[in-house]
Each structure stands twice: as structure tokens, then as C-alpha cells.
Amino acid sequence: MNWTAIDRRRLLAGFGGVLAVTALPRNVRGGGSLFLSAYATAGSGAVTFGVAALDAAGAVAFATPLPGRAHAVVPHPVRGEAVVFGRRPGRWFVPVDLADGEAAAPVAAPEDRRFAGHGAFSPDGRLLYAVEDDVPRETGAIGVYDAADGYRRLGAIPTHGVGPHDLVLLDGGRAAAVANGGVLTHPDTGRVKLNLEEMESSLTVVDTADGRLLSEARLPEEHANLGIRHLAGRPDGSVVFGVQDERPTGAIQPLVGLHSPGGDLRLFEAPEEEWLRFEGYIGSVASDGPTVAGSSPRGGRIGVWDADSGRWLGSAPLPDGCGLAVAGAGGGYLATSGHGAVAPISPHAPDRVSGHGAAGFRWDNHLTRLG
Amino acid sequence: MRRRTVLTLAAGAAATALVPVARAAAPSDTAFLDRLLRSHIQPRLDRLAAAATDLAQRLERFCAAPDAAGFEAARAGYHGAMDAWAGAQHLRPGPLLLEMRGDRIAFWPERRGIVARQLAAVLAARDPGVTEPGAVRKQSAAVQGLTALERLLFDDGVGLSAFTDGEAGRYRCALAAAVGANVAALAGEVRDDWTALTPRLLAGEATSVGATPRAAVENLYASLVTMAQIVADQKLRFPLGDGPGDARPTLAEAMRSGRTLRSIALNLEAMSAMVLGENGGPGYAVLLPDTAEGTAARTAAVNAFAAARAAAAAAPGPFAEAIADPGRRPGVEAVLRATRSVQTVLVQTFPPLIGVALGFNELDGD
């Protein structure tokens, strides 16, 4: 495999904002943040899966093989470690040392649970929340793990919805917003969608201490075919959400919106021909504060909106582009694609995209910025 | 609300800038689609519509005067419709996906036991409104199509008397006829929608099959890839389980009518036709470059499909028993292995050579 090695100090600097290693220069070589993404290898050989650290220019610091295809990567807020979740129906997550990419032993899901692919650390780093399906009860749950004790499972709290996928913590970790896609699956039939007619998607907010339902929001009936699948938190406590059309009717529908701290859902606006390009499918969302971005790998477009007004700012073409992260402290986005592209996106001129390739890698759905 | 399918798009030419794909020297997208439509897509959709209509007529005749010959004719009509469905099931983008038509034609894989549960509820209630013309399409998808019909015609212990004994028998027959009519209506809609969108597709306009002719070529190719995955995972791997003791026959498709392997064989035949051509028309292999690499890829596809079809033809049935029997199981496992080889050709060998940028993120629905 062939990738550009980059300075290990720079990798450490990537999460140095929190770590004691801030003594290391943060902007070696004028670079900025480092990012984590699951990948599949590209090329003629057998496909293998793993997790990689890369910079905004597409240089890869490490690439670590994993037991199978992975999904989201969650950095620990204090330790130089990240947790990589297996793709749903996920049977494991793997802690990875960010200094060298070395993977610890996978942590297996309980027999009656399957991980959904996303999770979050509590702000103090003590707990890991893993979104999961409670298989026998056909309902959503959040597995709670002790990150200070080898990821010992402490228990689970309900998501108060079916088919949960993504989660963001609110209110200093006291609450979790969960995207319940509404679609039921079962390990016997893999990713087959089993309840499309009755699907009921919701965005719930759950008390992380006791699992109590704090609020629940649904899209209006005319959008009952849309499943809320991905979330991104904003500093004011609002949450960006992206949806997927699980039961296509041919109608043009909005696919990205904002959940206010009060619990209302507001769908953003975009020209109809732009929504059309998104093919009913948002794969990832992010917000740099003033703006919001949502990617459609099926449409090969990334849309950008003004967060407060919901006004459409434009879109960036990126074939099979899905991974989306805030580029750095100055805002803007970095996007990745299944064809290996790594592309900065300016919220103010999104249509001007020039990317870098990372030969040998197909970047999976999600990109996470370190520090 | 406006429809996604009616807008004409100025295709974003810039959108291809970051795709690392070299286009082969090949027919234009619209020329390829035109010929594929005439030789492959339309004939198969015509066959599905005709087989479904035939099924509906057989059920109607049977219920008018139920007898043993009519019962056998109805069961044969089900097999005819399932054959045609297996031959068209891979044409997923567009009309089949819209309004869940594919799920309504055949609700499989199903949430455990839901078809049986919902059918039992309908049969117990004996609501005459459900068997009125057009009423089944307002019911749950689980009772609308061929999966429900299989339960009605082939469930354990079901024979002619199930359709003749009293009110319950008459209602079962009326429901079967109504489901048959619904399948015929759905298959007709799919065929007619394709017929209606074809001129727009060939004029370069946005349709439900794809925003551009290029997108239609790619979406139809992606649906071949998805179909291969459905055969390998849903139809074979999940029921096979990890070993004879772990086999799960209830996960098999069309297990009650004993046609699991027959449907798999017809799926493979249909996919093969879409790759290698049929009726004098092209398959995706015509998009391969005229180079040694292109020739090798074509040979790989010919061999992989031939091996998979041969394995499916040779596999010992009935599927539900064979997968739990250490003696017969290897024959079924061979079908899975051969289908995996087809997947490799479709996912790895063809895309870079035929200029199709197969998405990585777009296929998985996550």
C-alpha cells in the first residue's frame, strides 16, 4: 500500500488541543487538523477495511486494518485514542491508539444487540455511548461503556424509537439527541428493511443518566417516508439532521433541517433542482457554526446552508462524496469520497471544488476531525 | 408537490472532475440504453405483466368453479408469475422502486412471520371490502403480492378443500384472486411507466431511472450489483447459516412452493443477460474496451455466470432440506461460492473498464 507518511508529531498535535502534548507545534508544515475515517482499499487486489488518519491534503498518517467494514470514528476527548464502530449490524467496536494507529482488541456487542455504527464519549471521557439495536425487543438503545475500565459495559438506556443510527450529546453530556431512522432490521436478514410501511422516524432527546425521554420530534405526515439518520451538534444546542427517503414516492422533499433546543424540527430550503440532485439521500451532516453542510453520495453533491436563516448557499459537486467534517477552527468543511478524494469546501463558494486524491483508499461515510 | 421525475436537469459536468475513471470507447449512453430497453428491459417487463395477468385470470377462473384442475392451474400460474418476477427483479431503479412496487409484488424478505400474521388476520375478519376490485392495494404490502399468494396456495396442509369449504374457503379464494389481480395491476404499471419514461430517457431528460442517461446507465448497473448481493446474501447466505445445524430454512425465499433454487437460477440468468446481452441486443459487456484487458473481463464474466448458473442447476433440492443435510448442503454452498465470483466480476473487474463509477458510499443506505 502506498501513502504519504506524515510527521508523527503532527498527528499528536492533532489532538493536542486537549492533551498535554500541546508543547508540540500545532501547525507543523503549515498544516492543520487531522481527520479520521473508515476506509476500504481500492485497486485490483482483495478489498480490506480499516481506519485511517489523514490530513486535509489527503496525506495518510496511519492506516489500521479492522475486522470488517467500519462506520463512524469517535475520538476520546482526553486520551490519545479513538473508538471505531463496525458498520451496522455491528458486532464490535475497536479502540485505536492515535499515536501509531495500533488497534486494541475489539469489544464485542452483547449477543442480543447490534451496534448501529455511531456513538459518543461523555465530555469528561469516562463513558462511551454506543447506539445499538435491542434485537429481541425490536427497539433502539444506547449501550453505556466505562472508558476508564477497559470499555466494560455498564448497561443501556432506551432511545425511545426504532432503528437508531446517530447520536450527539447535548447539555454537557446530560442528554443525548438520537436519530431514530424508524426502519427495523434483524441480524437474520442483515440490512434488509423490514417495516417500511409502518416506519416512524423520530429525533428523541434522552436523559443520559436514567434514559428518560426528554423530548421527541417527528417530521410532518407528508414526510413520513423520510428517516432521520444523521446528526451534527451546534454550539447553541441545536442539532442539524439529515434524512433518507426510505419509501420513494417521486416527490421532491427537503432532506436537511435543524432541531431547536425546544424540540421543533425545521426543514431547510433549497431550489427544487438541487433537492432533486440529492436523490433522496443524505449520508452525513456537519456544522461549522454559521453554516450547515449535508452530503449526498448518491447525488454526488454537498449542499451548504446558512444555519440561522436556513437559506441555501449553494452546492459542491463531489461524486460519491459522503464524509464531512468541519475543516478547522476557521470553519469551512473537508469532504471525502468513495473514490478517494479529499476536498476542502468553502461555505461561501461551495461550487469551486478542487480535491486531492488518496490513491489506494475509498473513504467510507464519515469523517471526524481530531482536536 | 412536484415530482422528482419531471424536472429536466442541466447535468453538472463538473461533477465528474474527481472521479478517477477512464471512459471506454463505447456506444453513447442513449444508444446503449435504447438497445438495452428493446432487447432486455421491455421484453422482460412485458413478460412479467403477461405472466401476472395470466395468473390473475387463472385465479379468477378457479374461484368461479373450484376444482382440482383449476387448483393446479392456479398454482402453475403462481410459478409462471414467479419465473417472470425472477427475470425482472434486477431492474430496480425507477418504476419498480417507486411506491414500493417491488415490495408489493413480492414482499420478501419479510419481517419474521408478518405475511402469515397479516394474512391470518384478513382471513379471520372476512371483510368483503378487501376482496373488492382495487382494494388489496390499500392493504399492507405484506398481503399484496406473490409472497402472500404463495401462503394462500402452498401453505402447509393447503389443498383444494381450503378453497371450497364453506364461507372460509370462498373467502380464501376471493382473496387469492384479488391478490392476483393486484399483482397484475402492479406489473402493468411498472411496464407502462417504463414505456412512458423511455422517450424522455432517450431524449436526455431526467427520469426516475436517473437524472441523466449516464446516471441511468450507472443506476441500472448498480442494480445488477445489488441483485447479485441479494442472491448471495439474502437468498443463500442467510438461510445457509454457518453450518448444517445452523441452517434456517424459514429464511429461504419461496420455500413453501419449493422454488427457492429455481428463482435463484432465473435471477442469475437475467443478470447474465443484462451483462452479456440477449435477443441480439447489448449487455454491459459491449461497453468493455477492445483491448486484451477488455477481452479478459468479458471472458471472466462469461465464465463466472456459466459457473453460477451451472451450480444453481446442479444444486440438490429441495433447498429447505438440502441446506440442513450435510450430504446435500455442499451443492448449495457451491452456488453461493459461484455467485461470489459473479459479484467480484461485477464489483471489481467491470466498473473501471466500462466507465461506470460504482459508488462505495451510495450503495449501503447508511
Least confident of A13-22, A191-200, B117-126, B147-156: A13-22
Q: Does the distance separating the beta carbons of B18 and A337 come in below 8 Å? A: yes
| The last residue of a domain, from among B208, B228, B254 | B208
Within this chain, do residues B320 and B219 fall inside the same structural domain, yes or no?
A: yes
Within this chain, do residues B184 and B225 fall inside the same structural domain, yes or no?
A: no
Give the model's confidence band at A352: pLDDT under 50 very low, under 70 low, under 90 confident, else very high.
Answer: confident
The verdict on A221 touching B (C-beta cutoff 8 Å) is: no
Least confident of A35-49, A196-210, B79-93: A35-49
Q: If you average pLDDT over every residue of chain B, what do you get?
A: 92
Query: Which chain A residues are within 8 Å of B109, Cβ to Cβ?
Result: 189, 192, 194
Q: Does the distance separating the beta carbons of A194 and B109 come in below 8 Å? A: yes
Phi first, then psi, for residue B203 (nearest 5°) are: -90, 5
Residues B107 and B274: their CA atoms lie apart, in Å, by 24
Q: Does the distance separating the beta carbons of B206 and A250 come in below 8 Å? A: no
pLDDT in tens, B250-266: 999 999 999 999 999 99
Q: If you average pLDDT over every residue of chain A, what do you get?
A: 90
Angle at B300 between CA B298 and CA B266, to 5 degrees: 90
Within this chain, do residues B143 and B93 fall inside the same structural domain, yes or no?
A: yes
The verdict on A249 touching B (C-beta cutoff 8 Å) is: yes
Q: Does the distance separating the beta carbons of A281 and B366 come in below 8 Å? A: no
Residues A48 and A39: their CA atoms lie apart, in Å, by 8
Per-residue pLDDT at B317 exceeds 50: yes
Give the model's confidence band at B15: pLDDT under 50 very low, under 70 low, under 90 confident, else very high.
Answer: very low
Please check whether residue B97 lies inside any domain of the structure: yes
The range of the structural domain enclosing residue B247 comes to 212-361
Please check whether residue B264 lies inside any domain of the structure: yes
User: pTM (2 decimals)?
Assistant: 0.87
Question: Which of B1, B231, B86, B346 minimizes the C-alpha distance to A245?
Answer: B1
pLDDT in tens, A263-290: 889 999 999 989 988 989 999 999 999 9
| DSSP-derived pairing of the beta strands A92-97 and A81-86 | antiparallel
Name residue, grid cell 481530531.
A370
Of all residues in chain B, the one with the smallest CA distance to A366 is B361
List strands edge to edge, sheet with A321-326: A321-326, A333-337, A341-345, A356-357
Q: What is the pLDDT of residue B22?
A: 44
**What nine digits make up the cell of A32?**
492543520
Q: Does the distance separating the beta carbons of B233 and A337 come in below 8 Å? A: no
Give the model's confidence band at A20: pLDDT under 50 very low, under 70 low, under 90 confident, else very high.
Answer: very low
pLDDT in tens, B27-60: 799 999 999 999 999 999 999 999 999 999 999 9
Q: What is the pLDDT of residue A184?
A: 94
Give the three-state DSSP class for B7: coil
Q: What is the pLDDT of residue A18?
A: 29
Of all residues in chain B, the percent with pLDDT exceeding 70 is 92
Within this chain, do residues B204 and B218 fall inside the same structural domain, yes or no?
A: no
pLDDT in tens, A234-268: 999 999 999 999 998 888 999 999 999 888 899 99
Please check whether residue B12 lies inside any domain of the structure: no
Of all residues in chain B, the percent with pLDDT exceeding 90 is 87
| The last residue of a domain, from among B208, B224, B257 | B208
Please check whether residue B136 lies inside any domain of the structure: yes
Per-residue pLDDT at B13 exceeds 60: no
Q: What is the pLDDT of residue A233?
A: 97
Contact in structure between A170 and A237 (CB atoms under 8 Å): yes
Please check whether residue B21 lies inside any domain of the structure: no
Within this chain, do residues B143 and B164 fall inside the same structural domain, yes or no?
A: yes
Give the three-state DSSP class for A52: strand
Q: What is the pLDDT of residue B111?
A: 85
Query: Which chain B residues are within 8 Å of A276, Cβ to Cβ?
Result: 4, 7, 9, 206, 211
Q: Does the distance separating the beta carbons of B100 and A247 come in below 8 Å? A: yes
Q: Which residues contact A363 (CB under 8 A, 6 or more apart)?
A: A37, A38, A39, A322, A323, A336, A337, A338, A340, A341, A342, B360
Query: Which chain B residues are within 8 Å of A37, Cβ to Cβ?
Result: none
Per-residue pLDDT at A8 exceeds 80: no
Within this chain, do residues B144 and B222 fall inside the same structural domain, yes or no?
A: no
Please check whether residue B323 lies inside any domain of the structure: yes
Q: Does the distance separating the beta carbons of B359 and A338 come in below 8 Å? A: yes
Within this chain, do residues B157 and B221 fall inside the same structural domain, yes or no?
A: no
Within this chain, do residues B340 and B280 fall inside the same structural domain, yes or no?
A: yes
Within this chain, do residues B189 and B121 fall inside the same structural domain, yes or no?
A: yes
CATH value at residue B61 = 1.20.1420.20
| The last residue of a domain, from among B152, B187, B208 | B208
Within this chain, do residues B287 and B345 fall inside the same structural domain, yes or no?
A: yes
Q: What is the pLDDT of residue B358?
A: 81
Helix (H) or strand (E) holding B170: helix B166-202
Name residue, grid cell 429455481.
B262
pLDDT in tens, A137-178: 999 999 999 999 999 999 999 999 999 999 999 999 999 999
- Across the range A175-191, mean pLDDT stands at 94
Residues belonging to chain A: 371
The verdict on A248 touching B (C-beta cutoff 8 Å) is: yes
The verdict on B81 touching A (C-beta cutoff 8 Å) is: no
Q: Does the distance separating the beta carbons of B361 and A337 come in below 8 Å? A: yes
Within this chain, do residues B194 and B261 fall inside the same structural domain, yes or no?
A: no
- Across the range B350-365, mean pLDDT stands at 79
Q: Which residues contact B5 (CB under 8 A, 6 or more apart)?
A: A250, B197, B206, B207, B208
Question: Within 13 Å and on the Cβ side, how many CA atoms surround B274?
Answer: 28
Please check whether residue B2 lies inside any domain of the structure: no
Question: Which of A45, A318, A249, A87 minimizes the C-alpha distance to B99?
Answer: A249
Domain count, chain B: 2
Amino acid at A344: P
Within this chain, do residues B202 and B217 fall inside the same structural domain, yes or no?
A: no
Q: Which class for A45: exposed (0-12), middle (13-18), buried (19 or more C-beta within 10 A)?
A: exposed
Please check whether residue B35 lies inside any domain of the structure: yes
